[in-house]
Amino acid sequence: MNIILFDAMPDQNTIPATDFRAQHIHKILRLTQGDQFTMGIVNGVWGIATITSLENGHVSFSFEKQGESAKLAPITLLVAQVRPICMKRILREAVSFGIERLVVTGADTAERSYQSAKLWTSGEYSSYMLDGAMQSGQTSMPSLIQVGSVDKALALDIPWQTKLLLDPAAQLNPLSQIDSMQEPVVIAIGPERGWSERERKLFWQQQFISCTMGSRILRTETACSAAIALTLGSLNIM
């Protein structure tokens, strides 16, 4: 945790003892009165907090603003539903890279029950996104859109300029060699069994460029991190 984030400034600048962030300050960081830590508000300001008291597990602090949220990279990750344990990793890592948007979609070959998994219905997904932001040391958090199918994902009114379809069957266009990417960029990555032929045709109709990251078939979460990193490099951001 390289920054401690909140949705809003805690009441009376006090973190309750039951809050996982207070427990992190006590048990992991082992901070005491007078010590400092970096904290911020999601998509808002960040600064330095100085602990003023530690009583019954509660953490009270003063706060000095240092800056505003950083600009997110103009990249959308359009990723198909996968097993919740894998999706947790995707959410955390995609947020830590600092992309501006996540679109999670159902797919023809994906297990339909994934869309109604506890990860989504309980709101648990937000904790993994928060974890990714705190790992990054930034307050910026991407938006998240969930849709039931590729058809609905492609119907979103988002003006992508460079549209990339990751497909291991496409051997002619290595992602690392695609030049002159125009912002904003969308990267479409399929489920464990890949995109269906019907979905590929839908992407092609929307002028997506089929590209590959080599002959090896990667796990969806590995492909997401690799594709984001390569695209950030192409945009001279990483």
**pLDDT band at residue 52, thresholds of 50, 70 and 90?**
very high
**Same domain flag for 116 and 143:** yes
- Which carries the bigger pLDDT value, residue 174 or residue 73? 73
* Measured CA angle at 51 (ends 46, 57), to 5 deg: 115
Interval 213-225 mean pLDDT: 91
**pLDDT band at residue 32, thresholds of 50, 70 and 90?**
very high
> Which pair of structure tokens corresponds to residue 135?
């790992």
> What pLDDT is attached to residue 2?
93
CATH label of the domain that carries residue 185: 3.40.1280.10
**Same domain flag for 36 and 91:** no
**pLDDT band at residue 64, thresholds of 50, 70 and 90?**
very high
Interval 184-204 mean pLDDT: 95
**Same domain flag for 58 and 150:** no
Residue 87 vs residues 120, 189, 203: alpha-carbon distances, Å: 10, 12, 22
CA 85 to chain centre: 15
For residues 211 and 184, the answer to whether their CB atoms sit within 8 Å is: no
> What pLDDT is attached to residue 217?
84
Residue numbers of the domain that contains 34: 4-67
**Same domain flag for 9 and 83:** no
> Which pair of structure tokens corresponds to residue 26?
């006590």
87 has pLDDT over 90: yes
Nearest residue to 200 via CA among 171, 165, 227: 165
> What pLDDT is attached to residue 3?
97
The strand order across the sheet containing 73-80 reads 143-147, 99-105, 73-80, 185-189, 162-166, 209-211
**Same domain flag for 20 and 106:** no
| Domains: count for the chain | 2
Report pTM: 0.94
Average pLDDT, the chain: 95
Q: What is the dihedral of CA 55, 58, 64, 65, to 10 degrees?
A: 180
> What pLDDT is attached to residue 210?
92
21 has pLDDT over 80: yes
**Same domain flag for 153 and 39:** no
**Same domain flag for 92 and 50:** no
Q: What is the pLDDT of residues 117-169, one digit of tens each?
A: 999 999 999 999 999 999 999 999 999 999 999 999 999 989 999 999 998 77
Of 17, 41, 67, the last residue of a domain is 67
**Same domain flag for 56 and 123:** no
Amino acid symbol at 2 = N
**Same domain flag for 50 and 113:** no
**Same domain flag for 200 and 95:** yes
Burial status of residue 102 (CB atoms within 10 A of its CB: 0-12, 13-18, 19 or more): buried
Q: Tell me the percentage of the chain whose pLDDT exceeds 90.
A: 89
